[in-house]
Structure formats: C-alpha cells, structure tokens
Amino acid sequence: MSPVIKHILVPTDGSSAAMIGVQYAAAAAKRYNATLHGLHVIDIKLLEGPFLRDISASLGTAPYVNYQGNISLILEERGKTALDSFKKTCSELEVTHEASLVTGIVIRSILEKSELADLIVMGRGGEHTEWLEGLVGSTTEAVVRRSTRPVLVTATPVPGGDRFMIAYDGSQHARNALQVAASVSVDWQAGLEVLCVGEKKAETHLDEARAYLEAHDVVVNYVLRSGDPSEAIVAYAKECKADLLVMGAYGHTKVRELVVGSTTAYAMNRAPCPLLLAR
C-alpha cells in the first residue's frame, strides 16, 4: 500500500464474497477520501474457442451461430447487475466512485486496471465460494501473485481499526510490508503487533522492526514465537484478535513455494481477519 491512498480498485462478479470485498473497499475509500473503482470483466474465454464449441457439440448444432450473441448478452447483463450493486453500496456511503465493464481475460484485465490504483481489494472467494469452503478463489490468488500493487483480501465487510498485525521475516517483501503496516497503523490510529517466528534470526528481525518503528507514532507490541511460520502467524492473529494482518506477498523463491507451500497462501486461506499483502 502506498502511504497515500487515493484510488482503490475492487473487482466484482456480483457474488456474495465479491460484494463483501465491495463493502470493505467502500468503507476504506470513505476513510481515505479516495475514489473507488469498480470493475467487472466479461470473461472472453466464455465467448469464443473451446467453450462454445463444446456447447454446440453437446446440443448437436453448428458452433457460434445461435449462442455467441445470446451468451454475450447474458454475461453483459450479469456484469451490469454486479456493477449496479457496487454503485448502490458506494452511494449509500457517499463514496466517489466509477464503474467499468470490460471484456477480456479476467486476471489480465484486473492487473491492467490496477496500474493506476494504489490498492486492490478483493473478496476471499468469488462466484464459486460455496464450493471453496472459505478458501481463496483462483482469480484472487492469481492477482496476488502477479500484481505490482498491494492487495487486500477480505472475508469481512466492515474494516476494524483497533489492532493491526505484521508478520516480519526480514525479506525485502516483509520490509515493504513493515512500511505499509506503520503507515496504516498511523492512519487508523491502531495498535500494531509485530510477530517474528523462529530462533536467532527471528530475534534479529525483531530488532530491525523495532529500530524502524521507533520513529513512528504508533503503539507497538513485539512478539517472538517458534514453530511453523504459517501456523504461528494465523494462530497469533487469532490470539491477539487482529483487525488486519499485513504480510509481504510471496517473500520466498517460487521454487520453495512449489515445494513446501507458501506462508502467504496459507494465511490467505486461514487468516481470521483481512490480509493486506504488500510488494
């Protein structure tokens, strides 16, 4: 997150999980006096190629002739409905907003739109949330992995501002996250919990965080824990009743993420509060 938040992007597909993201983003935009940009992407993959060929084959008809136009209209109406709900939420909170309906590759379109945003807010799930059992959706995960902007993932519609938390491991992404955590804690006048997990290196990381945060007007509690970082982070977020967890996005190598799994991915799926991922 940039220290100055003036443009917030919230993609929406109209699902209940996406609308939670819209509600959270609208409240944050009001807090920062920011413009909220709502985006719905009509997935171009549903309008061409194998998808329509498969439908046509199953119905025994020629591809495209009868279905492309109808499907396009249905998807467009669905997008307009999602954006109408977005506009209603913004109007109720008196938030400056604009809505965009585009056709393209979903993830690419979100990333392109985010280039002029200071923050992306996304619901933890999407239209398939009921089958994900609370896990983060594939679109949200892909945006987090590829975005150059901070991404806030939430399953909570209303921001809390009493206690924030950062998981700090000394990586470059974590250092960026530390700056973000300090900034948002000052903005919201929230206390900040700094958690480092491990042994000797963790103590060094805790000292680094302390040295940086001493110059900021924020009340800080420093905590050292041992054990598996993923589990320790989520457990402490529950223990301290954090309103927001701040982390660096995918701080380890891609190879390590594939082999042992990612602390970031674990937190995205299991954190008891909104998760702000900084680059």
172 is in which domain, residue-wise? 163-278
Same-domain check for residues 115 and 132: yes
In a domain, residue 57? The reply is no
In a domain, residue 52? The reply is no
Mean pLDDT of 108-129: 86
| pLDDT tens digits along 49-104 | 555 555 444 545 555 555 566 788 899 999 999 999 999 999 999 999 999 999 99
Q: What does the mean pLDDT of the chain come to?
A: 87
pTM of the model: 0.87
In a domain, residue 67? The reply is no
Number of domains in the chain: 2
Specify the amino acid at residue 233: I
Same-domain check for residues 149 and 11: yes
Same-domain check for residues 167 and 149: no
What six digits make up the tokens of 91? 């109007």
CATH of residue 242: 3.40.50.620
| pLDDT tens digits along 171-220 | 988 999 999 999 999 999 999 999 999 988 999 999 999 999 999 999 99
Say if residue 249's pLDDT is above 80: yes
What burial letters (b/e) apply to 219-246, b meaning 16+ CB within 10 Å? ebeeeebeeebbebbbbbbeebebbbbb
Same-domain check for residues 136 and 15: yes
Same-domain check for residues 248 and 170: yes
Same-domain check for residues 130 and 175: no
Mean pLDDT of 102-117: 96
